[in-house]
Structure 1
Amino acid sequence: MEAIILAGGFARRLGPLGDIFPKPLLVVEGDTLISHLVDKLRAIGIEPIITVNKRFEHFFTEFPRVVVEKATREEEKPGALSGLANAISELGIDDDVIVLCADNYFSSDLREFVSSFTGETLVGIYYAGENPDLRPEEMATVRFDGCEKYPPHSRTFYIHDFKEKVSPPLSKYVGTGMYVLPRHTLPILKEYCAGGKRDAPGFFIQHLLERGEKVKGFLITGDWYDISHRSYVRIFREGEITERLEKMVCVSRQVEGFLLTLIILRSGGTMERKSDREELYFVLDGIGEVEVGERKQLIRSRDMMPIPAGVSVRISNRSEKDMLLIRVESLSESR
C-alpha cells in the first residue's frame, strides 16, 4: 500500500498568510499539519509521497518522497485530483493508495481506518453535529443508512450518496479528506482526469458512486477539522501583513474598536514591544518564554497574558516549531 499527501495548494483561504507559506506548514497541537500526517503514516509503516507546487517546494525539503508540480501560481495548478492522478502515473504506482489532504488535522491515528479497508473505496467520515466551526454546506456531505442520527449503527457503512458543497447538505456527516483508493480504481481516476482540470477528490467519489462502484465510509472519532475553518484563520483572512521578518510574521485586522494581530514566531524568533495601550496576548499554539518588565515565565498553548500600558514585553520562541499568538489592543483612548 502507498500513501499520497496532497499539499500542492496555494493557500488562497489563508488570505495574506498564503502569500508567505503553504497551509500544511501551519502549526496545530504542537506540530505542523504536514508533520502530523507524515508521523501517522510512518507509525503504520508507510513513508508517504507528498505532492507540492513549484512555488512552495522549498518548504518540504526535509521529506524524502516529494513530487513537485510545475505550477507557480493558482491559475497554473492542475487541481488536487489531477495532481494526484499525475503523481500516480509519474511514479508508476500500481497498488492501493491512501490519500490524505494536507489541510486537515485529526487526532486519531490511522490504524483503525486502514484496517477497515476491505478492497472497496474507503472514505473517512466525521460527524459535524452542531459544531459552529464546521459548516456542512461548505463541505462534502454523505448519505447512508442511519445518517439521520448519531452515532450510526456501525463505524463502517456503505455510502449511498456523496456530494461536495451542497445546500442543504445531505446530512451532518462530512468528508474528512481521507481516502483509500483500491488499485482497480486507479485507471478510472486516470480516465476521469484526462478531460481536464479536476480539483476536490470528493468529486471522484461521486463519480465512482455514479458508476456503480461500492464506497464505504469509516467514522472518524476524536478531533478533526479543516484548518481553513478555524476561527482565527477566518478572522485574519481579511487582514494585512504589517511586519515580515526572517523569524516573525504579523498579520493585523481592525475589528470594531480593537486591533487584532496574529503573530507567527519561527523557532528562535523574538518579538519585543512597548505600547502606550493595554494589550492582551493569547497563545494559540507553541511554547515560549515571555519577559514582562523584570519578570520571566514560560508560556504555552491557551495561556493569556495581559500587558499594562507602557510596559515592555519580550516573547521568545524556544521550541523547534512555530509559535502562534494573537495580540488584542484596544483602539479607544487610554485613560
Structure 2
Amino acid sequence: MKKHNFSAGPCILPQEVLQKASEAVLNFNNDNLSLLEISHRSKPFVNVMENARSLAIELLGLEGKGYKALFLQGGASMQFLMCAYNLLDKKAAYLNTGTWSDKAIKEAKLLGEVVEVGSSKDQGFTYIPKGYEIPSDVNYFHCTSNNTIFGTQMKSFPETDVPMICDMSSDIFSRQLDFSKFDLIYAGAQKNMGPAGTTLIVIKEDVLGKVNRAIPSMLDYKVHLSKDSMFNTPAVFPIYVSMLTLEWLKNLGGIPAIEKINEQKAALLYTEIDRNPLFKGFVATEDRSNMNATFALTNESLKETFESMLTEAGINGLNGHRSVGGYRASMYNALPLESVQVLVNVMQSLEKKAY
C-alpha cells in the first residue's frame, strides 16, 4: 500500500500522473521509444513543451495579458540570481520571510542595492511582516509567498506601482490569487507541480529590457523566450510530468477546486494541533501555511512512541527541517484529505495513550 507522503519536496504526485509517466518512460506516444531517448526537437516533445507552457498560463488566468511561461533549469535558486540579472538596474526591495528569501537577497546584492523593507528574522521567521512600505524608486519588489521551512504563508500582497516578483515554489497552483498583480512568478517544480529538475517562470514580457548590463545568454529571459524555452536541451522528463500534473489539475476543476480541498486539509490538521495538548504550532496563527504545517510535541518523552506510531500508520516525510526541528506536514495539491485524517488519527491515539 502506498504511504501517506508528507514530504516537503520532492513532493507527492497524483497516482495517475505517476502511472502515465512510467508508461512514457517505456513507450512514449506508442512510438516504441522512451520519452527519455527521443529528441527534444522532435514534434512529440515540442508539443509537450507547448502544452505545458500554455496550461500554466491558462490555470493562472493570465491568457491574453502579455505573459509567457518558461521551463528552465537550475531550480528556484538560479532564479534568485536570474531575476536580479534581468531586472535589477540600481535598487530593489525585498521582503525577508525565511531561508529562501534570505538567499535571494544575498544573490541580488551582487548586482545592486537591496532595501530590506521587512523581516521576520527577529523571531525566527515565525510570522509574516506587515505594514511595511515599498519605496517608489526601486526596480522591483520581491517576496516569497510560502515558506516551506518555517511554515508561514503570505495571505495578502502589497499594493504597489513597482513590478512585483514572487517566489511561489511551494504554493504555486494551490490557491486563487490575482496573478496579474505579479510581473514575474517563479517556482521549482518539485514542491507542488512535478519532479525536481525544472523550474516554471511566468513573466510579463514588458518588464524586460530595462537594465543596462550585458546579460549572459543562459541567464537572459529574452533569449529563452525567443527560443520558446528551448535555447538549450530542456529537462524533458520533469517538464513532461509537470504537464501531466497541470492536466490533472485542470481536469479536477483548476485552482478553485484544489483550493477548497487544500483548505479542508489545513483546517483538519490545524484544528487538531490547537485542540490536542500534546502538540503546539510553531508560527503565528494568522500566517500559517496551508501547504506546510509545522508543529512540535509538548512532551519530548513521547517522541519515540509518536514516531513509531507514524511508521506503523504508513506516514512518510513528517520530520521538520533540520534548522527548525519538530514536525512538518507538507500538504501539497496531490496529497489526499484521507492522508491528513490518518495523521490526525495518530495524533489522537497518542493523546489517549498519554492520558
Q: TM-score by structure 1 length?
A: 0.28
**RCO higher in 1 or 2 (8 Å CA, sep ≥ 6)?**
2
TM-score, structure 2 as length reference: 0.27
Structure with more of its chain in strand, by fraction: 1
